[in-house]
Amino acid sequence: MHVNSESILSVKNLTKSVQVEDKTLALLQAINLTVTAGESIAIVGSSGSGKTTLLSILAGLDLPSSGQVYLKNQPLHQFNEEQRSHVRAQHVGFIFQQFLLINSLTALENVMLPAELANLPDAQARGEALLAQVGLSDRLDHYPSQLSGGEQQRVAIARAFIAKPDILFADEPTGNLDSKTGQHITDLIFDLNAKEGTTLVLVTHDAKLAARCQRQVEMDSGVLTETSVEQAVTTEHSSVEATQVADSAAESKAVENTASEVG
């Protein structure tokens, strides 16, 4: 398989479906996408459109039902959990809507974690420097429960950048924050991104946030459309498929609701 040398992430004919009782629900249908190194791309779409499912496959957290995913030229779709862990440790950074800090570790220890997992030297010095950059140098030893939402997300941003990832996945990074704090967090992400030259894949339904990315793609009912450059890849659906897509949308929505409840 030939891969563009500049592309850091490439997806070919990717599908994802789940079995619910007797029915097969198609969550993603024939997705094709290429992301070049250093690019920032927003995946937009309404709740339940499948954008989060796509993100989890792109980042190597989940496997597609069919199709290929290459991250840094590595065939994630052929990798087992352990191999994908390794790819994530070496190349991937995350920012989540729920922050997802480890409650029993301090802010600094949370930040150090990816660097430690990637065997990088000076994890502590790097962590302290990054926390200073996000304005939390006086909160190193605080536990997540002692921090506000915005502060927690800043810790998460510091954690995302510490291992100098080649690609950063951000899933609704401002979704749990008020607009002012959200703005601040957005600025931080884009500033650090520019400075580190990291590729950014951002999932959001916030049009303003998406507009700050160089490129936007839209997910709708499991189908990806390039909003500016490329047009819809597949347009023809039978009526049966359309129903299935609607079901699948409801399904992913339910999944997302569960996720948001966890807090």
The residues binding another protein (CB under 8 A) are 52-53, 55-56, 59, 61-62, 81-82, 85-90, 92, 94, 96, 100-106, 109, 113-114, 116-119, 143, 159, 171, 255, 258-263
- Minimum distance from CB of 12 to another protein (Å)? 22
- Minimum distance from CB of 184 to another protein (Å)? 20
35-50 burial code (b ≥16 CB/10 A, e <16): bbbbbbbbbbbeebbb
In the bound state with another protein, the residue whose beta carbon lies nearer, of 143 and 241, is: 143
In the bound state with another protein, the residue whose beta carbon lies nearer, of 70 and 96, is: 96
- Minimum distance from CB of 255 to another protein (Å)? 6
- Minimum distance from CB of 4 to another protein (Å)? 25
In the bound state with another protein, the residue whose beta carbon lies nearer, of 18 and 233, is: 18
Residue found under tokens 């600094």: 108
In the bound state with another protein, the residue whose beta carbon lies nearer, of 103 and 231, is: 103
